[in-house]
Amino acid sequence: MNGQNFDYLKNQVKYTGFGEVLEAPLKEQVKKGEPDFILKHQANFGGDTVNADLHFKKSASTDMYFFNKYDLSLTKAGQEEPAINQTFYIGKDNNITLKEGYNLLDGRAVNKDLVNKEQEKYNAWVQLDFKETDKQGNFKLKQFHENYGFDLQKTLEKHPIKELNNPEDQSRLMDSLKKGNRQSVTFQLEGAEQKRFIEASPQFKNLNVYDSNQMRTSESQKETTSESQSKSQKKDVSEESEELPSKKPRKRKSAGIAG
């Protein structure tokens, strides 16, 4: 067994979000020396379950293995069959972690530092386009670059969020939202504190806001409606607001980030 190669793979798997639980089976498979193999992993996020198949392939000319991709399927709480599947490709740049993959499958956007084909670095929000697939049947990714006009901090400041009053809490909140999480926060409304859940919606330059029962609230649409009316009376407000993709397609796979 190529020890250096195993250490590299072990760390690659760990930092892609699968932790250390696959270390032993990974070592066992590498020792076998087969041309390729798959490791399986399951994780739970709240009541949702994701199952991953990690694909490894051996070089045709050396004893080195490569972690090429992982297939991820999401089963929503209360459902028996996977709601949606996605293939995330692993390379030098633009990799998606397990938690980010879950958030993308669940319809949310993730903020990433990316590298294009010319090896130029840039930042963008990425989100799966459930209406469009590529030739392999994989969902394409929508990207919203810095010049798109979505400013997370300014958007947060339009809502009465208690955590914004503390710089450390604000920093943690923004980091969580950038990972694509639906984050618990405290709204200060009419002298009272109320629990809310928020997620970034860069495409509509807004936040999606949910109550303590995870139901969408009117706060999600306040900013959007106001902007729509001020820009044009002819534009339908519904075009400026986003419906949470709670009922996603129940088939097809999707691809990783294009460079």
Residues 197-210 have pLDDT tens digits of 999 999 999 999 99
Question: pLDDT tier at 150 (50, 70, 90 boundaries)?
Answer: very high
Residues 6+ apart with CB under 8 A from 162: 185, 186, 187, 188, 193
Give percent helix, percent strand, percent coil of the chain, each to the nearest 5: 30, 35, 35
Q: Rounded CA gap, 215 and 182, in Å? A: 12
Nearest of 152, 202, 12 to residue 95 by alpha carbon: 12
Q: Rounded CA gap, 121 and 117, in Å? A: 10
Give me the half-sphere count of Cα atoms (radius 13 Å) on the Cβ side of residue 51. 11
Tens of pLDDT along 48-70? 999 999 999 999 999 999 999 99
Q: Rounded CA gap, 36 and 34, in Å? A: 5
Average pLDDT over residues 241-257: 42
Tens of pLDDT along 214-236? 888 877 655 444 444 444 433 34
Domain ranges of the chain: 3-148, 152-240
pLDDT at residue 259 is higher than 70: no
Tens of pLDDT along 105-148? 999 999 999 999 999 999 999 999 999 998 888 899 999 998 99
Report the pLDDT value the prediction gives residue 221, as an integer from 0 to 100. Answer: 55
**Average pLDDT score over the chain:** 86
Nearest of 150, 109, 111, 105 to residue 130 by alpha carbon: 105
Q: Rounded CA gap, 189 and 192, in Å? A: 5
Report the pLDDT value the prediction gives residue 171, as an integer from 0 to 100. Answer: 97
Greater pLDDT, 164 or 222: 164
% residues pLDDT > 90 (the chain) = 71
Dig out the tokens for 155 from the structure: 């958007």
Question: pLDDT tier at 246 (50, 70, 90 boundaries)?
Answer: very low
